[in-house]
Structures are given as C-alpha cells and as structure tokens.
Structure 1
Amino acid sequence: MINSPRISVQVQSVYIESQSSPDEERYVFAYTVTLRNLGRTPVQLLKRYWLITNGNGRETEVQGEGVVGVQPHIEPGGEYQYTSGAVIETPMGTMQGHYEMIDEQGKAFRVAIPVFRLAVQTLIH
C-alpha cells in the first residue's frame, strides 16, 4: 500500500478540563481533523489507525472502520472534518497514525497522520 500526497491532513487538539480528573490521572483531549482531497478523483476513507503515546512513553494502538462511525467520500477539491477524543494518563502526550483509503478505481492507499501533541495548555510555554 502506497502513501498518497493527494490528501492533506491537519489536526488541532484541545484539552477538555471539565471532563478530566488529574487526581485520577485522567486527561481528556478533543482533536479535530480536516482532510482535504488535493487530487483529481474522489476518494473514500475506509479505516483508521492511531498510535497514542502518553508522557511516560506508554503506547496505545487504536484501529477500526471509518471515523466517528462513517466512511466518508471526499470529492476532488473537497474536505471532510470531524472531531473525536482521546484519554491519556498524563498531562502531555502525542498521537499519530494513518488512514486507509481507496480511490474511485478501488485502488487502496494510505495517508499518514503526522504526529501532533496532546497537552494541557498551562504546560505549554
């Protein structure tokens, strides 16, 4: 399966203080992903894979069908945006991974999700 430069991935994360319990080592983050189809043909997102690493280096893998319960089609020049969440045991961590997609001919390809940080805002200088 090849990586594709025709899909742009941007991620923004935010700490959700109201759902977190630092005393119980529970830090909740929301992240919003924007996928843009820079290619000339429609694509469909089939699967996702995440590698979540907490501040102590503990890794958790998450994989499954689609994102937030859907397998979106993205037209050329179009975009798809969704918000999801992650819970880690430390106030800082990272996420990275990939999406598995197909083009209109049914050819599978992979789109890398660049590493991004999960961090409580007061810890960022």
Structure 2
Amino acid sequence: MTAVDENQYRIQVSVETEYLADQSDEENHRWVFAYHIRIRNRGDMTARLLTRHWVITDGEERTREVHGEGVVGEQPSIAPGQEYQYSSGAVLETEVGTMHGSYQMLAEDGTCFDADIPAFTLAVPRALH
C-alpha cells in the first residue's frame, strides 16, 4: 500500500444502531440488529468504496469476520464533501456484541487506502446500564 496524505484521503464513518425485537427470537438465542452507516468524504478527491471487512464479536467473545465487495450491492464513489448512507443488519447469539472494521477505498488518483469503521455496540436496550 502506498503511503497516504491524510488530507487527501479522509473518510469519516459514523454508525447508529437499533435492536429489531420483532425479528429476534430470544428463546432460540437470536438477536437481530440494524446498523445505519454514514460515510463522509472529508478528503480532497473522490474515492470509491471497493470492499468491506467487518469483525463481529458477540457477548461471549466469539468472533467472526466478514469480507465482501462493496456495501448493499454497491461500490459507491463519494466526491469530496459528499456522503453515502446505507443500512444493513447483523444477527448475534447474545444480547450484546460489537462490530468494527474497514472499507478499502480507491481514490481517483489510483491510491488504495483503508477507511476505518470505529467500534460500535449492538445491544438490546435493557442489556446495558
């Protein structure tokens, strides 16, 4: 990977989560969560989201990794000052878990770089104090 100039390639990722009680089945250890992602290009050039890498950890420290192309079937190009939003979901075997990861981006000048996805918590509302 090429060394990157932080000012040219700045992608900010923010996340909101929600518990989907109507899709969950606590008796069968199935808790369903939605997460809503906002990806903002704070850099100086357009960047295309090529792939994603997620690390999902449940409340018993079981971890699984997910790799794939794009997000929700798209590989969006995000111009400077613009943002892209999407929603997706995760199913856990516990009431609480975490996710974090990265998007692999390609800038219009041909530079590949990673955009970090900060860790966030997935939790049933009554599970955390």
**TM-score category of the 2 structures, normalised to the smaller one:** over 0.9
Moved runs in structure 1, 4+ residues, more than 2 A? Answer: 1-5
Instruction: For residue 45 of structure 1, report the CA deviation from its aligned partner.
Output: 0.2
Instruction: Write the distance in 2 (CA, Å) between the matches of 1:121 and 1:71.
Output: 33
1:103 maps onto 2:107 in alignment: yes
Q: Which residue of structure 2 lines up, in the alignment, with residue 80 of structure 1?
A: 84
1:124 maps onto 2:128 in alignment: yes
> Mind listing any 5+ residue stretches in structure 1 that lack a counterpart?
none
| CA-based RMSD | 1.3
Q: Tell me the TM-score normalised to structure 1 length.
A: 0.96
- Residues 77-102 of structure 1: per-residue CA shift (max 9 Å, x gap): 00000000000100000000000001
Instruction: For residue 53 of structure 1, report the CA deviation from its aligned partner.
Output: 0.2
1:45 maps onto 2:49 in alignment: yes
| More off after superposition, 111-120 vs 2-11 | 2-11
- Residues 33-72 of structure 1: per-residue CA shift (max 9 Å, x gap): 1000001111100000000000000001101000000000
> Mind listing any 5+ residue stretches in structure 2 that lack a counterpart?
none
Q: Tell me the TM-score normalised to structure 2 length.
A: 0.93
